[in-house]
Amino acid sequence: MVVTKPQIVRWLEKVAAVLDENKEYLTQLDSAIGDADHGINMSRGFGKVMEKLPGVADKDIGNILKTTGMTLISSVGGASGPLYGTFFMRSGMAMAAKEELSDQDLYQLLKAGVDGIVQRGRAQPGDKTMYDAWLPALEAMKNKLEDGADLLAALKTAVAAAEQGMKNTIPMQAKKGRASYLGERSIGHQDPGATSSYLILNALLETLQEQ
């Protein structure tokens, strides 16, 4: 399957819409263990991305993703701006000059972005962060592609793994970020970053499923 530049643009548009729709839900999750601003910040950040997108929609995929990352870094407060900004910056660097993507390209796009999150946030598996959604998603996608599955099948498996990873953060004690200050009181709450990560990946799947 070839992923086209218009599909990447549509993915970003869908992410903006989904994060806006889930703004209150994400903020509610964040109010339990954070600053109660994750949904607001993500919605505002992708609102800014939507303002920038028309100006770069005709550029290559790497340029589109890097612009998204720079916009998030400059417009989103808290930890999520630098982390998601780094995700899109790194994915854009990995896809520099590309006009379309292969199955393996899309995996490398996501992997480069997640590697950026890890380097920026220093998160480990089990720290109750967005990495707990991304890590199982990447592993599932990689395994499916290596088994010869097509991109949509691999991405469906990745989304299911991200959703499970998101839910698995509920019983965890936070070890990174603002939530870590709560110690054992962070147990029993779903991580908002893992939740927005799941929403972003699911938006990619939905975009590629559209005809």
Query: Each residue of 88-124: pLDDT tens digit?
Result: 999 999 999 999 999 999 999 999 999 999 999 898 9
Give the pair of three-digit tokens for residue 190.
């779903």
Residue 119 CB: number of other CB atoms within 10 A?
Answer: 11
pLDDT at 211 over 70: no
Give the pair of three-digit tokens for residue 113.
């972005």
Q: 174 vs 146, 163, 180, 182, 184, CA distance in Å?
A: 33, 18, 5, 8, 8
Residue-wise pLDDT for 129-145, tens only, equals 999 999 999 999 999 99
Q: Could you give the domains of the chain?
A: 3-209 (1.25.40.340)
Distance of CA 211 to the CA centre of its chain: 23
Report the chain's mean pLDDT, rounded to a whole number: 95
pLDDT at 177 over 80: no
Q: Which residue has the higher pLDDT, 175 or 157?
A: 157
Rounded Cα distance, 152 and 164, in Å: 18
Distance of CA 7 to the CA centre of its chain: 16
Q: What is the largest CA-CA distance in the chain?
A: 49
Rounded Cα distance, 74 and 85, in Å: 9
Please choose, from the candidates 18, 30, 130, the residue with its C-alpha nearest in 3D space to the C-alpha of residue 85.
130
